[in-house]
Amino acid sequence: MPLLVLPAMIGVLVDQAGMSESFAGWSASLNFLGVAIVGLVISLKVHHINLRKLGRLALVLAIFADLISATTIGSTTIFLVVRVIAGITLGAGYIAAVSSFARYDDYERGFGIFVTLQFMISGTGLYLVPVYSDWLGASGLFYLFAVLDLLALSLCHFLPSKIVAKQGSQGSASELRLLLTLSAVLAIAGFTLFEAANNAQFTYIERFGVMLGLTDHQFGLALLVASLAGIPGAFMIVIVGQRFGMIGPLTLGFLIAVAGLFTLLEANSYTAFFTGCCFMVFSWAFCLPFIQSLLANIDRSGSAIAAGTSFSAFGAALGPGTAALVVASTNVTHVFRLSVGLFVLAYVCFYYASSRRQGDQTGPQT
């Protein structure tokens, strides 16, 4: 949820808790840093981990982390430390879920349904949080996160419990060899840059709406509809599967993202803001399951998707932090220019990862 309602959360921390835009952005970055740290560790052991037990332990700890966050908002250092811990625990739970998809048949459709549901929840949250922010308050937002952690915990029994690795295997050696193939390195780098680009613009989209003079209801409605537009985007892979490969659909998705950013750069009305948001969220939802499927193609046991999720979290942490530096002059449009450059670099990585994957298939197999 800290990612799915990120701009609304930034708005609540600024308006209700009195934080600066930069401090709120860095608190989000540290949260994603925690996800990245735990994801990197899990990616080297994922073949040997009971994902069901991991999810349960992670979410129990996440509940406590979010409850403590709600009570330490006024304590700068403690709050930031707790957000790192929350990122570690929530990240472990998330990676336990996302790694499980690679182990199923038709995994690309599983990722599509997964992302579709994320955008449905995100759209609802992005509408309700700004509208009810005065009533909810900053502490109430983290209490809400804790309740949702509890709901997630109740669903952990659906995660697979089977350990992939056989007794006497070489520990994390096979995972590491696979992750060092060129196709894996490029795909993971592309995922990192992709999330950095999206989170950079997503973190400050609410502040851009304020700069345009939009009301909370206008902003909430724009992101609600944008998130709803993301639902058919994510669901496209469920319909087409891998019929058109990976790089073709990704090319289309990245073009839509850049078009959305240029629309926002030229925006001087609510209509332009509304359109740019729809383009950006549709692109994000459309590309994400194709990216996850590309990583799952590299390793069906989940190490590549776990590592990709980890490094994409580094990107998610880098995005808001870098955006916080760019936005220091209060000119939010600089963030959109930053995102354009990051998207270009990400596409180059995916293009060459897709080209090299066939050659890397002669390497270590899982």
- The CATH number of whichever domain residue 206 belongs to comes to 1.20.1250.20
Within a 13 Å sphere around the CA of 252, how many CA atoms are in the beta-carbon half? 11
Who wins on pLDDT, 123 or 51? 51
Q: pLDDT digit string (tens) for 95-105?
A: 888 888 877 87
What letter represents residue 140's amino acid? G
Residue 195 sits at φ, ψ, to 5 deg, of -70, -35
- The answer to whether residue 365 is domain-embedded is no
- The answer to whether residue 166 is domain-embedded is no
What letter represents residue 66's amino acid? D
Who wins on pLDDT, 86 or 361? 86
- The answer to whether residue 363 is domain-embedded is no
Average pLDDT over residues 76-100: 88
- The answer to whether residue 348 is domain-embedded is yes
Place of tokens 């419990």: 161
pLDDT score for 189: 92
Q: pLDDT digit string (tens) for 282-291?
A: 999 899 999 9
pLDDT score for 259: 94
- The answer to whether residue 275 is domain-embedded is yes
Q: How far is CA 361 from the centre of its chain?
A: 28
- The answer to whether residue 364 is domain-embedded is no
Expressed as residue numbers, the domain containing 61 is 6-161+171-358
- The answer to whether residue 1 is domain-embedded is no
Average pLDDT over residues 276-287: 91
Would you call 42 exposed, middle or buried from its count of C-beta atoms within 10 A (0-12, 13-18, 19+)?
buried
Categorize the per-residue pLDDT at 165 as very low, low, confident or very high, splitting at 50, 70 and 90: low
Measured CA to CA, the distance from residue 290 to residue 207 in angstroms comes to 30
Q: What is the pTM for the complete model shown?
A: 0.75
- The answer to whether residue 123 is domain-embedded is yes
Number of domains in the chain: 1
pLDDT greater than 90 at residue 55: yes
Query: How open is the CA angle 210-214-218, to the nearest 5 degrees?
Result: 125
pLDDT greater than 80 at residue 361: no
pLDDT greater than 80 at residue 170: no
pLDDT greater than 60 at residue 168: no
